[in-house]
Structure 1
């Protein structure tokens, strides 16, 4: 008997585990860790960090070993006055180090550091974009669940009304048409509830797709209860704009890219400067002849006796480079102008977005307060209609109109509330407040 009971209990445990509720923070974290665009940006960060390490290592000397072998077939050797065959080899190590190149090494390191920062800001921008999208989808689920609750509450009322109408009809107090209308109201409200459930499932599906989950059927979020008593905080538009300029990664990236363009100009100018390179070579050689009369020392003896140390300094002075250096500087200056223009565009975009967010937050606040007032009026009207119907001075058609008006007002208020919440989240985002705070 114990074995029989174990299976359903185990299955139940698996089912409960699969239905783990996701919080908003969990959704945001999952999206930022698994979104393919963000992953690609992080890979670019790793590449830029490797480039930085490469730039940091360029001041180090190079060292290379070599081992050469050759066979010479000559037509005449002066010592024997005839053709000869000679085998030679050499081995050793050589090294080079840059002594001076116009500060190019330091400029490349500084540029590589800036490129790392640029990719990091690009990743932060992608994280912010996906986070806002997750919050929007998350709130859409909460909204549709509230709309479902409104529809279910209205269905409960119409079912009670149908039960009451059935009793009144049985007692001969209302006409058959009134009973049929009550039945039609219940049927319509059941359809509304079914449609609302589909919208909840659709919203869950959309968020699960955004999170790139393998199976949307096992996805659900935590129950979120947000009070209707929400107000817009005090915001100074100029202060929000200043914060956005200072903290938005898109602006920071544009600033870093402008600084990088300045480094490119300095790098291009180093092409006009001389380069000084130091070198050192340590090696030896061996030669052997296959002709009689041409005798060579033993292999190891020659290697020992032929050791050489060569020190050198090479200076390269650019005289004429087909105007390439001049063109490189001009190209870098044009790129700097583009970077400056991009920074201004980013600031303009931020300014427009902040102003739009500020306007939308204020407008949605007014719309929400208006919707709440509409609900209060509709509740009074629906209550009066119900009392009038109960007293027999109002027919079921007019009662249904009043009740439908209340449902519409409640639905509009729910939509206005979550629209207001999201607009506030966008404004909070530009004001430097964490996106997941307050939900």
Structure 2
């Protein structure tokens, strides 16, 4: 039984290790970043806050209901509420009540506040879309940088293999006295330089992997890696459109313009909200109150034997004194708690009208202030359109330039390949020295690396144009 348990634990550990060491595709990286990137999560919190703001606006249409209760003791010289006599005593009194209020009219501020909250939610959604587009581009750029670094290392290793083969042949030719020893030293120097470049390339791979992992929110840098495969160029037909066609589409689809438009609508709604303060407000209210006391209650009375009557007034015409029986109240236990609450309750209800007359120009100034914000939002919208036009034009031009650079790099790489093959043939028969051979090989390596760089640069810039053209980030093809 123990052996089976141990085997299960080993299998589980092996599966976890395999899961940790999975290799990520570009599509997986983008999708994971859209859900787990810290900046995306922060923007999602803004969307959540806008939803709370919307619920606040809905709550303004609901009556306010509050309940209160208190039970207090008072010790010292106080008036006896039963006899009206000041005396040192400890009294206990209980009170409770319920109040409700409803705004019937407030210059339509409730409706406008709800509309503003809806606009705010829309603006937050646009901001989230823009953040996702930006993060997707950052991830794609970082991913392609890792891939370039890996393929750069592969080129260096491939060329280093050629150098090792040449080192062996050169050693044989030097030993046979066909080539001078200086050629052997030149090949060894080239070998050492290539090893140094491979070490730097490996470091660049690790650094670029860490940068990509941080964008994804992954902290297990040691086990993070990507799928090593070549990416073809898709979507270059997007450049068949004119730059102005891309610009017009971007103005309709891009979140930058939608955010600026939403901010302008919010500023205009703030003006309407401020103007509502010029209008009167009408509220309805309802209150219910009751009370109970621990004080003794009067249950009856008897004549005071020492002073059976007391003066209550004087007849003005005759100066005759008016008297009444002078009774001493008889005190009893207080009524039961619930009975007192029932007897002592009461309600009040009605309407309250508030008419603004003068408040130190505060409302007027707030309206003016919000009107200034509307103008600022209009300028920001205009600036956003100008920035978008410039960015699209730049992206479109960069993509076309990157394509031309990629084609030129391919031509240069092919030419240097032929030159290197020719230099190799000449070196093998002793018609050129090791220095010229090494220089030809270095030029060939550089053109290969430059072709890779131009390719991935073109792919990235092409994806930027596709995003501006309105293609959703999840539909980008790599």
Q: Distance in 2 between matches of 1:107 and 1:83?
A: 57
Q: Distance in 1 between matches of 2:275 and 2:402?
A: 55
* Residue aligning to 1:44: 46
**Change over 3 Å in CA distance of 1:406–1:283 after alignment to 2:** same
Q: Select the residue among 59, 62, 66 that pairs with 1:60.
A: 62
Deviation at 1:326, TM superposition (A): 0.7
3-state secondary structure, aligned to 1:54: helix
Q: Distance in 2 between matches of 1:75 and 1:371?
A: 103
Alignment pair present for 1:103 and 2:141:
no
3-state secondary structure, aligned to 1:95: strand
Q: Distance in 1 between matches of 2:429 and 2:71?
A: 117
**Change over 3 Å in CA distance of 1:231–1:388 after alignment to 2:** farther
Q: Deviations over 1:159-198 (max 9, x none)?
A: 1212222222333322222233233333332333232222
Deviation at 1:262, TM superposition (A): 1.0
Cα RMSD, aligned residues only: 3.2
**Change over 3 Å in CA distance of 1:229–1:127 after alignment to 2:** closer
Contact kept, 8 Å, 2:116 with 2:266, in 1: the verdict is yes
3-state secondary structure, aligned to 1:311: strand
**Change over 3 Å in CA distance of 1:65–1:14 after alignment to 2:** closer
3-state secondary structure, aligned to 1:321: coil
3-state secondary structure, aligned to 1:399: helix
Contact kept, 8 Å, 2:63 with 2:102, in 1: the verdict is yes
Contact kept, 8 Å, 2:250 with 2:468, in 1: the verdict is yes
Say which one has the larger Rg: 2
* Residue aligning to 1:336: 374
3-state secondary structure, aligned to 1:217: coil
Alignment pair present for 1:368 and 2:406:
yes
**Change over 3 Å in CA distance of 1:295–1:358 after alignment to 2:** same
Contact kept, 8 Å, 2:38 with 2:217, in 1: the verdict is no
* Residue aligning to 1:241: 247
**Change over 3 Å in CA distance of 1:229–1:26 after alignment to 2:** closer
Q: Distance in 2 between matches of 1:344 and 1:333?
A: 17
- The alignment's TM-score, normalised by the length of structure 1, stands at 0.88
Contact kept, 8 Å, 2:234 with 2:477, in 1: the verdict is no
**Change over 3 Å in CA distance of 1:228–1:164 after alignment to 2:** farther
**Change over 3 Å in CA distance of 1:27–1:66 after alignment to 2:** same
Q: Distance in 2 between matches of 1:294 and 1:358?
A: 101
| Greater mean deviation of Cα atoms: 173-182 or 421-430 | 173-182
* Residue aligning to 1:178: 183
Alignment pair present for 1:274 and 2:280:
yes
Alignment pair present for 1:253 and 2:291:
no
Q: Select the residue among 25, 28, 39 that pairs with 2:30.
A: 28
**Change over 3 Å in CA distance of 1:284–1:373 after alignment to 2:** same
Contact kept, 8 Å, 1:375 with 1:409, in 2: the verdict is yes
Contact kept, 8 Å, 1:101 with 1:270, in 2: the verdict is yes
Deviation at 1:248, TM superposition (A): 2.0
* Residue aligning to 1:421: 459
Q: Select the residue among 193, 200, 208 that pairs with 1:203.
A: 208
Deviation at 1:358, TM superposition (A): 0.8
| Greater mean deviation of Cα atoms: 140-149 or 35-44 | 35-44
Q: Deviations over 1:277-297 (max 9, x none)?
A: 112233445576678538799
Q: Distance in 2 between matches of 1:120 and 1:207?
A: 25
Q: Select the residue among 355, 376, 391 that pairs with 1:317.
A: 355
| Greater mean deviation of Cα atoms: 410-419 or 64-73 | 64-73
Contact kept, 8 Å, 1:42 with 1:123, in 2: the verdict is yes
Contact kept, 8 Å, 1:87 with 1:289, in 2: the verdict is no
Q: How many residues align?
A: 436
| Greater mean deviation of Cα atoms: 15-24 or 294-303 | 294-303
Q: Distance in 1 between matches of 2:234 and 2:189?
A: 36
**Change over 3 Å in CA distance of 1:26–1:293 after alignment to 2:** same
Alignment pair present for 1:119 and 2:124:
yes
Q: Select the residue among 437, 440, 443 that pairs with 1:405.
A: 443
Unaligned 5+ segments in structure 1 are: none
Q: Deviations over 1:7-49 (max 9, x none)?
A: 9988766544332101112222332323322222222222221
3-state secondary structure, aligned to 2:329: coil
Deviation at 1:105, TM superposition (A): 0.9
Q: Select the residue among 148, 156, 160 that pairs with 1:155.
A: 160
Q: Deviations over 1:315-349 (max 9, x none)?
A: 11111122111111111111212222222222222
3-state secondary structure, aligned to 2:98: strand
| Greater mean deviation of Cα atoms: 103-112 or 170-179 | 170-179
Contact kept, 8 Å, 1:231 with 1:365, in 2: the verdict is no
Q: Deviations over 1:54-83 (max 9, x none)?
A: 211211112223445677977799x97865
Q: Distance in 2 between matches of 1:286 and 1:230?
A: 82
* Residue aligning to 2:20: 18
Q: Select the residue among 213, 216, 222 that pairs with 1:217.
A: 222
